[in-house]
Amino acid sequence: MSHLFVMMLFLKLLVYHAGSLSFPFSIIEKEFEREKGIQVERISGGSRYLVKRITELGLEPDVIAVADYKLLYKLIPEYIDSFFLFARNEMVIAYTDKSKYSDEINSDNWYEILGRREVRVGRADPKLDPCGYRALMVLQLAERFYKKSGIYDKILKNSGDRFVRPKSVELLALLEVGEIDYAFEYLSVAKQHKLKYITLPPEINLSQYSFEEFYNKAMVVVENDTLKGEPILYGIALLNNSRNRDEAVAFLKFLFEKGKKILYDSGQPPLSEVVILR
């Protein structure tokens, strides 16, 4: 029996990660297991939900990766000492050929199409998934950018909460079967699942540091947290109580080195240099 096989029998690294990281992390998991002989168990979900699993349920992983780095401050100092910024993203409007007005929608008229009464729009739950509150921020910023009031209320009123899901990747199935016409998604997710998508202006897609001041004008209150619009940055941390600390460190090292190309190839732009925050 090989040494690597014996290690895999006894070691299982538990990684919580944002649903939008499922595609690249599935590849990273396989590559890491093959190279290091360390078995990885992944649990994906909305990033706010994953943080609540730790703070409210006491279910601690070895590593947590979230789609909004600021959520990790909720874990300092009890659960983590510091964390790393490692990837970016941007918001898009995803759709398919089955979507109503799919042959008409473009980067200039998307908000008019989504505001039509018969169009069904899906989004993530802002209480559980950052993509959910970022969708609301995009709509707020759109009103300022296009200088048109009512965009936010009209689009949200059309679909209400019928097509709100715990994590943004759960909207993909609704798109594919035609239950919804459009979904607020991350660019990486749209690319990974070969969806059509509308690219939004950089002033509202939450991707550019140069527009941070404008993004800050968007504000969403989620469970007593007042959140301002910011460029999308992903964060990852090692838990203080990790039972597999050496293996968790090895996973982070793998992500920051070989994992960067996997992220890039998956449409998830890695930061050129990993940034540590405390």
Q: Judge whether 172 and 124 are in contact, CB under 8 Å.
A: no
Give the model's pLDDT for residue 178. 97
CATH number, domain of 125, equals 3.40.190.10
Give the model's pLDDT for residue 2. 52
Give the model's pLDDT for residue 259. 98
The torsion angles phi and psi of 98, rounded to 5 degrees, stand at -80, -15
pLDDT over 90 (residue 8): no
Give the model's pLDDT for residue 159. 85
218 and 252 in one domain? no
208 and 98 in one domain? yes
Q: In what order do the strands lie in the sheet with 91-95?
A: 164-165, 121-124, 182-186, 91-95, 196-199
Domain count, the chain: 2
258 and 149 in one domain? no
pLDDT over 50 (residue 224): yes
Beta-strand ranges (E) seen in the chain are 12-18, 39-45, 63-66, 83-88, 91-95, 121-124, 164-165, 182-186, 196-199, 219-222, 225-228, 233-238, 270-277
222 and 135 in one domain? yes
83 and 102 in one domain? no
80 and 139 in one domain? no
| Residue that is last in its domain, among 187, 208, 228 | 228
* Helices marked H in 103-257: 110-114, 130-146, 151-159, 171-176, 187-192, 212-215, 245-256
Average pLDDT over residues 155-166: 93
Q: Mean pLDDT of all residues in the chain?
A: 96
* Tens of pLDDT, residues 57-79: 999 999 999 999 999 999 999 99
Average pLDDT over residues 249-270: 97
195 and 99 in one domain? yes
* Tens of pLDDT, residues 183-212: 999 999 999 999 999 999 999 999 999 999
Q: How would residue 10 be classed by pLDDT, with cut points 50, 70 and 90?
A: low
Return the closest-CA partner of residue 49 out of 121, 114, 125, 100.
125
Q: How far apart are CA 171 and CA 124, in angstroms?
A: 8
22-36 vs 258-265: helix crossing angle, rounded to 10: 150
217 and 240 in one domain? no
Give the model's pLDDT for residue 160. 86
223 and 96 in one domain? yes
214 and 101 in one domain? yes
| Residue 267 belongs to domain spanning | 3-88+233-277
Task: Give the type of residue at 203.
Answer: E
